[in-house]
Amino acid sequence: MDKIVTFSAIKSICRQYKEEKKTIVFTNGCFDILHAGHVKYLTHAAGLGDILILGLNSDRSVKCIKGEKRPVIGQDHRALVLAALECIDHVVVFDEPDPKLLIEAVCPDVLVKGADWPEDQIIGGDFVKQNKGRIERVLLEPDISTTKIIQRIGELYYGKH
């Protein structure tokens, strides 16, 4: 089975996992420039269940969230790199500004977000809890982020602004 799947396919894929009594973990994000913080976060998320499904913001969605200069890496390339990670079972690109519809399609047992998100602001959290799932907030690696990497590259090549 291909790791990069469509929004329309994920519901039946998850139904099959649930029939097999697999614990489905879901997380989402832009994952623009993959770095060690992402890898640690995703590895931790995968350890919370049997199947890790990653909702990947589309290019259009990233622009809405991060601004016109992002993403640095296009959605097809981001999806390919993420799918290559052993800890990820499926990558689903979504075009909406938030993953609510995708979370409802997946109906995960565990919804994972960074600890920088207050639990009451995690989109889809209420839905997951209503369906007997739980929310896990993961501590992020300090001092590493895509934004900081982009700033560092800018400093190296163009000097401090």
Helix H or strand E encompassing 113: strand 110-114
Q: Which two tokens stand for residue 140?
A: 């992020």
β-partners of residue 137 are 113
Average pLDDT over every residue of 3-19 = 97
Quick one: which of 127, 129, 136 has its CA closest to 104?
Answer: 127
Contact in structure between 25 and 108 (CB atoms under 8 Å)? yes
pLDDT at 1: 52
Strand pairing category for 110-114 and 134-138? parallel
DSSP one-letter code for 34: -
Contact in structure between 51 and 36 (CB atoms under 8 Å)? no
> pLDDT of 90-119, one tens digit each?
999 999 989 999 999 999 999 999 999 999
Helix H or strand E encompassing 42: helix 36-46
CA-atom Rg of the chain in angstroms: 16
Q: Where are the domains of the chain?
A: 4-158
Domain 4-158, what architecture? 3-Layer(aba) Sandwich (3.40)
pLDDT at 142: 85
> pLDDT of 20-74, one tens digit each?
999 999 999 999 999 999 999 999 999 999 999 999 999 999 999 999 989 999 9
